[in-house]
Amino acid sequence: MDKDREGVETIWNTLVNNKAAVTHEFRFKTPWQARNGSRGDTWVLMSAYPERDSEGQLKSVFGSITNISQQKWAEDFQKRRMEEAIELKRQQENFIDMTS
């Protein structure tokens, strides 16, 4: 997503300029859909490692991207359920206060 572009560029520059291994989560523009029909953002985990030549210059980059959309969806679902429970408890406490 456009929101994540700056972070990805920063991480890539760290990899290329500092020749340091990086790991970063970001979203693709293409939406994700589970087998059960649930939809959400397509989240990925990128890990990339620089390979240096004999002079210490960047020779190549080895990396992988793993789809973590299911985990992100589950985290979001759990967060929403927790917020609903907190709101329900707040409403219940308000009701008890009013009836007391």
29-69 pLDDT per residue, tens:
989 888 888 888 999 999 999 999 999 999 999 999 999 99
CATH 3.40.50 fits 2-99, yes or no: no
What's the pTM value of the predicted model, to 2 decimals? 0.74
Name the residue with higher pLDDT: 98 or 11.
Answer: 11
- Using an 8 Å Cβ cutoff, are 29 and 48 in contact? no
Where are the extended beta strands (E) located within 1-100? Answer: 22-33, 39-52, 58-67
- Using an 8 Å Cβ cutoff, are 19 and 5 in contact? no
Residues 69-73: what's their mean pLDDT?
92
Q: Mean pLDDT score of the chain, rounded to an integer?
A: 92
* Rounded (5°) CA angle 70-75-77: 90
Please classify residue 89 by burial: count the beta carbons closer than 10 Å to its beta carbon, then call 0-12 exposed, 13-18 middle and 19+ buried. exposed
The token pair that represents 90 in the structure block: 């707040």
